[in-house]
Amino acid sequence: MNHKLMAITLLGAGLLASCSMDRIPQTEFGALKALKPGTQDTINTKLKVNIVFVGYRQTSPGQPATARQIDTQDFNQTLPGTYDAVNRIPSAYGRTEKTGTSFDFDYNYVFANQSFEDDFFKFVSATGAAKPLTVQQGLYNCQNANPETGLPDCDVPAGNINREITGNFEIDALKTENWLADNVSRVGVKPGEYTIYFVNWFDRPDFKFHSYTRADAADTDTGTKFGARGSRRLIAWGGSARENAPAQRVWFYDLSANPDPWTDAYDVTNPDVDGDGAADYRMPPIWEYGTRKASIGYGRKVSPDLALVARYTAINLLFTPSPIYRAALTPPDMPEKINLDVHVEQGSGAADPAKLLNNSLLQSRVQVLQPFTAFSNTTKQTALDGSLADVYKCYFGVSEDTCSPDYADFSGEKLFQFGVKELREEYKTTPAGTYQLPIYSFNDNTNSQGGLLGVAYDDGETGTQSFVYSFLTPDLIAAGYGFTDTTVHETGHHLSLSHPHDGYDSEQNLSYGPSGDFHFVNTGDESASIMSYNDLSRTFGQFNLDSQYRYLTAAYLNNTNAILELVRRAQKVDSVYNSVLMADSQFVQAQAKYDALDYLGAAQLAHAGYRSVLSAAKAAGVPVTAYKWYENLNGLEGLSAGQGAKLRFSPTFKAQTGVVAFPEETAYQRKLRLMK
């Protein structure tokens, strides 16, 4: 690894400390209010989080809570006081890398009054419609499935459930979210603040067994309505980016709905639902809490569980998540233009790619993540044959003849090297300031693999984002998938975003995903984000946009600080001084907008300040260069396959970063999730 280059790239302490303060005093820049030359800074802000209980009752002071009562002390003991975001994949390479955004939380607990509750449940009663029970609701009633069909298999309800589901009243999740957002002032919340609604309809006389839907949600290319499938019924939703309206930062979570299929909550019998040997903690439907029957609800109280959902799902994964990659693509000289460089690798006889990949939609959907950068897209179609077919087959272990005996499955080293060589050639004719975002779409005419839709690769040495891969086979097309939505999702990773079902807890220094003790965090997918796995969103939601604009604001700030360090070393302070003063004022204004939750406005001001300093530094002859990961892969050439595999990532990492159709599941489970 070229440690000098990486110190610049990571804006690390090594670079910042290497300057002698005696030789180049910091006072040369004068008194600055926001900029800190030669410093990796963090934008800290106080963030209010409202937690509103609808249909729940608070325990009386000094009295123990019943199974379905709320004790706010459970929340006080569980919720984080702070959050300090990290760049997740770069941090996996041995050094925790801060994103530059941190929060101090202020919690506001509200119990909705009777009038609000009556109006809300009247609204959902009028909005919904009676539908047949879903397969998953039938599985809850039976606690058993026919091994051949995967369908419920019982004549009478299971003896360990507390109540048989006898109806399915389906309610539009988006309309519900919008109603709650439009009525936040009635519970003393300002519009636009981060707000969790915990809903319980069960203890009211007008209760109906119900579920929430996004029934019209369909794949962009195939038109397949994933939202119509029972596996996509919801107990939670929020984070929609509403057009021509103030920012909407509401997420609701209703344990009196479904039971939730996405977290396997319909199975209240088996501790380990994913078969990995560890018990999977999940939230049963509300009526299971406090039961004395042999179910996962035995003796449990809802209040501590909702506190876990608030911390590990809503706050850590939706409201203030850590990015998977750096938002600064080529620090310290961030690009002015991004070209989506699409390579369609077309298998002989495979489906027509023109019907499976819409490049104009791809561009329009992802450019919101870099709103101050000009986007373009290019497409090159080549045959999936020859040496490319060899490395593709090796990637999936299809043909041992094309793979080294040292590895075969999911290492990606040969495929990665193939892409690096192509990228290096393309950059020979790429204009300065343009970032080539390499996207490979493999359209195979055979079922060469078992469900992988896409991957967002890193460089294998520093955790810098590298390639976007998307895959289609006849089976995946039959299941309803095209290229466009997968490619938007994977490009979202490349530009920084994590999934809403895996992430990081900074106070505990804990990375986690939806398994074991955290199986319940799969409900993070029940939000308006194409970064989810449930195929119910085509675009980036409000929580995505908030996060990305915060990351960009911090990136512009810290890359400006890094450029000023280079200016000091070059002894060009006088040449850029006026630009620095102007930029400092812009960053002060950016902080004010940031604190007021105007994250796009903050990023816009920060971008202007960054560009002003960058332009002045270059005009003064200061060498400010963009980091190019593909030029700094020591030992890429000549590595044995085994060494390369170790430098890349494991299948576990791949599962965390790609849109995977749950390849670890049994054939029955996968069929159930994809087709029902």
* Average pLDDT, rounded, for the chain: 87
3-state secondary structure of 130: strand
412 pLDDT tier (thresholds 50, 70, 90) = low
Q: What sign has the CA pseudo-torsion 395, 398, 403, 407? A: positive
Is the pLDDT at 182 greater than 90, yes or no? yes
More confident residue, 388 or 304: 304
Kindly report which listed range (158-172, 512-526, 591-605, 636-650) carries the lowest average pLDDT score: 636-650
Same domain, 646 and 590: no
Cα 469 to Cα 348: distance, rounded to the nearest angstrom: 19
Is the pLDDT at 31 greater than 90, yes or no? no
Task: Note the pLDDT tens digit of each residue in 298-324.
Answer: 999 999 999 999 999 999 999 999 999
Q: Comparing C-alpha atoms, which of 126, 243, 136, 131 is closest to residue 528?
A: 243
Listing from the earlier edge strand, what are the strands of the sheet with 337-346? 374-383, 337-346, 434-443, 465-472, 454-458
Task: Note the pLDDT tens digit of each residue in 600-643.
Answer: 999 999 999 999 999 999 999 999 999 999 988 764 443 322 22
Structure pTM?
A: 0.90
Same domain, 638 and 622: no
Kindly report which listed range (375-389, 409-423, 433-447, 652-666) carries the lowest average pLDDT score: 652-666
Kindly report which listed range (399-403, 534-538, 562-566, 658-662) carries the lowest average pLDDT score: 658-662
Q: Comparing C-alpha atoms, which of 580, 622, 601, 669 is closest to residue 30?
A: 580
187 pLDDT tier (thresholds 50, 70, 90) = very high
Cα 543 to Cα 551: distance, rounded to the nearest angstrom: 12
Task: Note the pLDDT tens digit of each residue in 53-108.
Answer: 999 999 988 778 788 999 999 999 999 999 999 999 999 988 899 999 999 999 99
What confidence score (pLDDT) does residue 653 get?
28
What confidence score (pLDDT) does residue 449 get?
82
Is the pLDDT at 431 greater than 80, yes or no? yes
What confidence score (pLDDT) does residue 398 get?
63
Listing from the earlier edge strand, what are the strands of the sheet with 210-213? 129-131, 168-172, 210-213
Is the pLDDT at 120 greater than 60, yes or no? yes
β-strands 69-70, 57-58 pairing: parallel
Q: Is 670 inside a domain boundary?
A: yes
Same domain, 622 and 639: no
CB atoms within 10 A of CB 14: 13
Domain enclosing residue 441, as ranges:
337-495+634-675
Q: Are 290 and 299 in contact (CB under 8 A)?
A: yes
Residue 28 has φ and ψ, to the nearest 5°, of -60, -30
More confident residue, 83 or 446: 83
Burial 332-343 (b: 16+ CB within 10 A, else e): bbbbebbbbbbb
Same domain, 620 and 641: no
Q: What is the DSSP string of 359-415?
A: HHHHHHHHGGGSTTSEEEEEEEEEES-HHHHHHHHHHBT--GGGS-TT--BS--HHH
Q: Please name the amino acid found at residue 122.
A: K
Is the pLDDT at 418 greater than 50, yes or no? yes
Burial of 348 (0-12, 13-18, 19+ CB in 10 A): exposed
518 token code pair = 């955290």
φ/ψ bin of 423: left (φ > 0), alpha (ψ from -120 to 50), beta (otherwise): alpha
Which residues have a Cβ under 8 Å from the Cβ of 483 and sit 6 or more positions away? 221, 353, 356, 357, 441, 443, 470, 472
Q: Please name the amino acid found at residue 70.
A: I
Q: Is 65 inside a domain boundary?
A: no
Same domain, 490 and 639: yes
Cα 78 to Cα 123: distance, rounded to the nearest angstrom: 32
Is the pLDDT at 430 greater than 70, yes or no? yes
Which residues have a Cβ under 8 Å from the Cβ of 405 and sit 6 or more positions away? none
Place of tokens 């159709």: 661
CB atoms within 10 A of CB 94: 8
Q: Please name the amino acid found at residue 546.
A: D
Q: Comparing C-alpha atoms, which of 434, 429, 437 is closest to residue 362?
A: 437
Same domain, 606 and 652: no
Percentage of the chain beyond pLDDT 70 is: 87
Same domain, 489 and 380: yes
Q: Please name the amino acid found at residue 245.
A: A
* Average pLDDT rounded to a whole number, residues 240-268: 94
Is the pLDDT at 667 greater than 50, yes or no? no
The secondary structure of residue 291, as a DSSP letter, is: B
Q: Is 605 inside a domain boundary?
A: yes
119 pLDDT tier (thresholds 50, 70, 90) = very high
Q: Is 473 inside a domain boundary?
A: yes
Cα 565 to Cα 600: distance, rounded to the nearest angstrom: 27
Residue 355 has φ and ψ, to the nearest 5°, of -95, -5
* Average pLDDT rounded to a whole number, residues 24-35: 73
Q: Tally the domains of the chain.
A: 2
Same domain, 371 and 388: yes
Q: Is 295 inside a domain boundary?
A: no
* Average pLDDT rounded to a whole number, residues 376-402: 82
Same domain, 484 and 405: yes
The secondary structure of residue 584, as a DSSP letter, is: H
Same domain, 612 and 671: no
More confident residue, 64 or 521: 521
Q: In whole angstroms, how far apart are CA 323 and each of 50, 85, 86, 99, 676?
A: 23, 8, 7, 8, 32
CB atoms within 10 A of CB 161: 24
Same domain, 452 and 561: no
Q: Comparing C-alpha atoms, which of 297, 615, 626 is closest to residue 436?
A: 626
What confidence score (pLDDT) does residue 396 get?
79
Domain boundary residue, one of 626, 650, 666: 626
What confidence score (pLDDT) does residue 634 get?
62
Q: Are 130 and 119 in contact (CB under 8 A)?
A: no
Cα 558 to Cα 556: distance, rounded to the nearest angstrom: 6
3-state helix, strand, coil in the chain (%, to 5): 40, 20, 45
Same domain, 582 and 445: no
Place of tokens 């997740």: 88
Is the pLDDT at 409 greater than 60, yes or no? no
What confidence score (pLDDT) does residue 407 get?
38
Q: Is 412 inside a domain boundary?
A: yes
* Average pLDDT rounded to a whole number, residues 47-51: 98
